[in-house]
Structure 1
Amino acid sequence: MEAQDHALEAERRGHGAGLWRKGDAGSTAVDVGGAGGFGGRIMLKRLIVPLAALLLSSCSLLGEDADPALWVVKDEDTTIYLFGTIHVLKPGMNWFDEGIREAFDASDEVVLEIARPDPNAIAALTAQLGTRGGPPFAPEVDAAARDLGMPEGAIDKQEPWLAAITLNQLAVTKAGYCNAQGVEAALSDAAEDAGKPVKALESARGQLMLFDGLPGAAQSAMLDATVKALPGTKARLDRFVAAWAKGDAESVGAEMNRTAQAAPEVAEALITRRNARFADWVAARMDQPGTVFFAVGAGHLAGRGSVQDLLGEKGLTVERVVY
């Protein structure tokens, strides 16, 4: 999940948007490198689905209250709230209130995986890293792409990692989820409105390089797993979002563990190593006074080897915030 979520996160801030889009009149067009976007933070934001969080549209409106999980680590002069984000939601889900809003309002600064990137720059970078001239993918890959509205052969112009993200993006959109409704976008807007500084843990280029740097076999495995998982996209994403909305960290963690088992090499690059870097950042930040709202993909705060687990190994106490 977090794997594609990252891809999506990168997208969420503006990454993959221009790779594939629908024309104004409902026609489809391959636009590798066009403006738009995977949203900005890869997310990293799915082999399977919740990692998915690319630029999405065609969302249906509904209303639903959500109370996602929130944690805190603090000492005498430093408080850091840990919040797990999700890169795609359906319009109308009310999560930015109560305890989440109180923690955000009390914070001096906001820390996200990646700051809002320039969509045009992201599109150009994605085109640079994500296009290829190799042989066509297996027939089932092209069939899946056609089923999701892409012209025959269009998917073959993309690197395997990007093809996986593109297919997942289209499937997530078809399921009724919208990247524009993602948590990071709301946090960025709120920080800007409140005049709070926003710090980025990573760059858009760095997140895309996580995918591009995967060995060929790992990329192919990612694409194969994505194609096989497409029929169950809506059910999995519904399940993941429902768990997140209820603050059910155990279920989110179980999904992350399943994803890691299905693609260990991808999980190592996109989750495990980054969890270690995020935990190091939090531990170092505890040496400075102030209150921080630290928001990263929900998959980093769930499952074995989560950021909380690693902070505990460093002697820091992480507590769940009850609200």
Structure 2
Amino acid sequence: MPNLYSPCRTGCLALLLLLALSGAALGQTQAAPDTASYNKTKTLLWRISGAGLPGPSYVFGTMHVLCPDDAIVPPEMEAAFLSSGQLVLELDLDDPAMGKQFRRAAQLPWPNSLRRLMKPRDFKVVKKFFRQQLHQSILPYVLVKPALTEALVYSAALPCTPVSYEGKFLELAKAQQKEVLGLETIEQQLVSMQQVPYRKQAADLVEAIRTYDSIPQLMQHLVATYRGRDVDELYRLSVDPKYGSENDEPAELQARNQDWIPKMSTWMKSKPTFFAVGAAHLGGSTGVLQLLRQQGYRIEPVLLPTTSAKSAE
């Protein structure tokens, strides 16, 4: 896997992959879909103003891993970023301690190992997949929690070496000497994964590999939906067990969104801020955009040019 940005390097990319793609490991059940439209304009970038703010802030909805053609920073977005005084992500990926924190959170507790959590024939299936599809050994992952390893299976289905908007924003923040902050800790991000038994995670990893032929089509649909920029539809997709997300049902997504609003308000009142969070957090009746409206903020869409469709071909 590539080193997208320091200090997180491969570990944080694996985490972003988990957040975006590994819903199968989180044991979701079907929820009644919310078909209402709360954000009629189709865009991923929104301006936040009013309520006594010193200047406009912005929130952008990311898909945590994409092909390069779908992770473009157009002039409109770069201008919004330039006008902001700080960058806020779901995690402070600029924190020098992030790599160590991720490794600690990702490691299986003794005496567990991937080999011990599955039957020998299943371990052979995983080992073969890593060798043939990922072109690497399974050995570095035998002590990693299987849900994180499963995320790499999904990454192999992308027709490219994946990149992230988070990585691009970190580069911009560094170039413009902006402070980087995080809405949550790694432990908070991984709370759903931690609730799933390790043997269930291992079984889901094997199942993902055995059904790998269906994953590219699933990935294409995810990316196509993201490219459509309908944040309410992205929310509905994120709580659909067919596709999964980092969230254990809408209740957890709602709780996380509500927890973010006071933090966002504090940062926005101190200086204009550019927020970049998973697009699924923006839409829906309890999404970040609607919650900010309820706090008296004015939420306006910022239209962006269309991106290339090459990566979905």
User: Do both share a fold (TM > 0.5)?
Assistant: yes
| Corresponding position: 1:178 with 2:161 | yes
1:183-230 alpha-carbon deviations (Å, 9 max, x no partner)? 100100110001111111223344345522x15399659937963864
Equivalent position of 2:60 in the other structure: 83
Aligned pair count reads 274
* Cα pair distance change 1:136/1:124, threshold 3 Å: closer
Deviation at 1:44, TM superposition (A): 2.7
Partner secondary structure for residue 310 of structure 1:
helix
Counterpart of 1:321, as a letter, is: V
Answer yes or no: is the 8 Å Cα contact 2:19–2:246 preserved in 1.
no
Give matches, 1:1-323, under 5 Å: 17=10, 36-38=11-13, 44-48=19-23, 69-75=44-50, 76=52, 77-93=54-70, 95-116=72-93, 117=95, 118-119=98-99, 122-127=102-107, 132-133=112-113, 136-137=117-118, 142=123, 145-146=126-127, 148-149=129-130, 157=142, 162-179=145-162, 181-212=163-194, 214-216=195-197, 220=201, 223=204, 227=208, 230-259=212-241, 266-267=248-249, 271-286=253-268, 288-323=269-304
Are the counterparts in 2 of residues 83 and 294 from structure 1 also a CA contact under 8 Å? yes
Measured in 2, the distance between the counterparts of 1:209 and 1:93 equals 29
Aligned CA-pair RMSD:
4.2
Asked if 1 retains the 8 angstrom alpha-carbon contact of 2:89 and 2:183, the reply is yes
Offset, 1:278:
1.7
Q: Which runs of 5+ in 1 are unaligned?
A: 1-10, 18-35, 52-66
CA contact (8 A) 1:275 1:307 kept: yes
Report SS of the residue matched to 1:236: helix
Q: Give the whole-Å Cα distance in 1 for the aligned partners of 2:254 and 2:121.
A: 30
Judged with a 3 Å threshold, the aligned counterparts in structure 2 of structure 1 residues 265 and 237 are, in CA distance, closer, same or farther, namely closer
Task: Report the TM-score when normalising by structure 1.
Answer: 0.67
Q: Which has the higher strand share?
A: 1
Q: Distance in 2 between matches of 1:298 and 1:41?
A: 13
Q: Quote how far apart the aligned CAs of 1:70 are.
A: 0.7
Q: Which runs of 5+ in 2 are unaligned?
A: 27-41, 305-313
Greater RCO, 1 or 2 (C-alpha within 8 Å, sep 6+): 2
Alpha-carbon distance change, 144 to 319 in structure 1, aligned in 2, over 3 angstroms: farther
